[in-house]
């Protein structure tokens, strides 16, 4: 069993789910315990704990009951937790890095709920639950948007009345930042070059999808905007859509903005394009192989739009050292990767079929291009990589760092 002397806990609260992880030390590569609560608030709710503690439960569980069960089952580890790291989707312009939460910062976070009404209130609920159930353990907020605070005004501003930005905070914020931060570091390590010397395109493709341009280690453009609805086609989200579409359909069907946004968030994307068949890429690929036209349509649009957005993001880079695929689809679907890159119609980005089917060689490379180790010798051909993201590890690392810094500062003042 792992040594629980300096554990941190990672919490990711969803509307009907909770993901939990315990890291037993600061240098832990993987969590010693993970847990997943699903369908919370319903009769079919479940909690599954794996790792150094094994436990499962089914029945009508709330978020609080699931978290309480986790704490009870993992008491030996929980007793040694020094900090709790929370994924918070939206930090607005207020938070450009992870923070230690107190009453003031929590109250500030609540003012940002309107920027991410489907996500932030749930994230804050997780923080409150931890404060109630584990009152003596400090909480840290790690923001999806923080990594993109390096975007330039010409990138983050929309062509709308400027007062919308100054008065209402309307701008591109971007999301999946914790994932992109991890993938940037991982790509630099695999290419054996400092991230400050690298220019990378990253496609995080899962049920939620976004892409990002990384120039010399920082985010310079990304596809998601004010909310996680913008950009690529996703499982149930539409991605980019002309504003005129809303007015047109709303006028015909007498729908409210709230109803229209619900449709764009929950009934569109792969699900909508496949005429309600599925939002799961695996299911759609199988159906396409059996001749299903609606499944093929959804996959074709998904792949083309991903290719187009990656190409558009490339204008922010002086060169492309690597293209990275990640997320559930990006990591596991060789077909989707091949079809996306095929749209570029360039020998510069040709995927090696054999490596692609194996999801890459020992470093996840799915092209035969040779990476360079010299920052002064830019590669002629971009390396294409498959890298599994690890947002929980980044949240744990930030939590360790902030708690350690807070302890050191407190000790110095004493």
Q: In 72-86, which positions are buried (b, 16+ CB within 10 angstroms) versus exposed (e)? A: ebbeebbeebbbbbb
Q: Does residue 337 sit within a domain? A: yes
Residue carrying the six token digits 């570029």: 344
Single out the catalytic residue among 43, 144, 167, 390.
144
Is 52 known to be catalytic?
Answer: no
Instruction: Let me know: does 399 contact 85? Beta carbons within 8 Å.
Output: yes
CA angle (247 as vertex; 242, 252 as ends), nearest 5: 125
Judge if 125 and 198 occupy the same domain: no
Looking at the whole model, is its pTM more than 0.75? yes
Domain CATH code at residue 42? 3.30.420.40
Residue 132: count of CB within 10 angstroms of its CB: 11
Instruction: Let me know: does 88 contact 120? Beta carbons within 8 Å.
Output: yes
Judge if 122 and 208 occupy the same domain: no
Judge if 138 and 228 occupy the same domain: no
Judge if 88 and 199 occupy the same domain: no
**pLDDT 10s per residue in the chain (414 long)?**
344 468 999 999 988 899 999 998 888 889 999 999 999 989 999 999 999 999 999 999 999 999 999 999 999 999 899 999 999 999 999 999 999 999 999 999 999 988 888 789 999 999 999 999 999 999 999 999 999 999 999 999 999 999 999 999 999 999 999 999 999 999 999 999 999 999 999 999 998 999 999 999 999 999 999 999 999 999 999 999 999 999 899 899 898 988 999 999 999 999 999 999 999 999 999 999 999 999 999 999 999 999 999 999 999 999 999 999 999 999 999 999 999 999 987 766 788 889 999 988 777 998 888 776 555 555 467 899 999 999 999 999 999 999 988 765 544 454
Burial class, 224, CB count within 10 angstroms (exposed 0-12 / middle 13-18 / buried 19+): buried
Expressed as residue numbers, the domain containing 13 is: 7-143
Q: Is 206 helix (H, G, I), strand (E, B) or coil?
A: coil
Report the number of distinct structural domains present in the chain: 2
Judge if 222 and 370 occupy the same domain: yes
């Amino acid at each position: 069993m792992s040594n629980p002397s300096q554990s941190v806990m990672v919490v990711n609260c969803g509307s009907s789910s909770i993901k939990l992880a315990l890291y037993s030390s600061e240098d832990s590569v993987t969590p010693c315990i993970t847990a997943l609560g699903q369908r919370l608030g319903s009769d079919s709710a479940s909690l599954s704990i794996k790792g150094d503690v094994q436990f499962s439960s089914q029945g009508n569980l709330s978020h609080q009951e699931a978290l309480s069960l986790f704490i009870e089952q993992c008491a030996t580890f929980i007793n040694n937790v020094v900090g709790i790291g929370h994924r918070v989707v939206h930090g607005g312009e207020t938070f450009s890095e992870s923070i230690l939460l107190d009453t003031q910062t929590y109250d500030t976070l609540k003012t940002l709920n309107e920027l991410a009404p489907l996500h932030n209130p749930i994230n804050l609920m997780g923080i409150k639950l931890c404060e109630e159930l584990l009152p003596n353990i400090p909480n840290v907020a790690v923001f999806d948007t923080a990594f993109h605070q390096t975007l330039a005004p010409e990138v983050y501003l929309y062509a709308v009345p400027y007062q919308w930005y100054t008065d209402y905070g309307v701008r591109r914020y971007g999301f999946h930042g914790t994932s992109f931060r991890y993938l940037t570091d991982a790509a630099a390590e695999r290419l054996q070059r400092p991230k400050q010397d690298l220019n990378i395109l990253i496609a995080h493709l899962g049920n939620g999808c976004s892409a990002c341009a990384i120039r010399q280690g920082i985010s310079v453009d990304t596809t998601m905007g004010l909310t996680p609805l913008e950009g690529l086609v996703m499982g149930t989200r539409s991605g980019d859509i002309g504003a005129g579409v809303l007015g047109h359909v709303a006028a015909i069907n007498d729908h409210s903005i709230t109803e229209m946004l619900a449709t764009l968030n929950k009934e569109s994307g792969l699900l909508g394009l496949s005429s309600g068949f599925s939002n799961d890429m695996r299911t759609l690929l199988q159906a396409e192989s059996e001749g299903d036209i609606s499944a093929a349509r959804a996959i074709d649009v998904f792949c083309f739009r991903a290719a187009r957005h990656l190409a558009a993001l490339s204008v922010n880079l002086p060169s492309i050292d690597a293209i990275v695929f990640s997320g559930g689809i990006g990591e596991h679907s060789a077909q989707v990767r091949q079809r996306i890159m095929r749209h570029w119609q360039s020998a510069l980005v040709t995927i090696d079929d054999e490596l692609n089917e194996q999801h890459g060689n020992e470093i996840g490379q799915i092209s035969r291009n040779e990476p360079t180790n010299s920052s002064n010798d830019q590669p002629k051909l971009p390396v294409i990589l498959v890298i599994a993201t690890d947002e929980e590890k980044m949240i744990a690392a930030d939590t360790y760092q902030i708690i350690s810094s807070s302890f050191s500062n407190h000790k110095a003042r004493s």
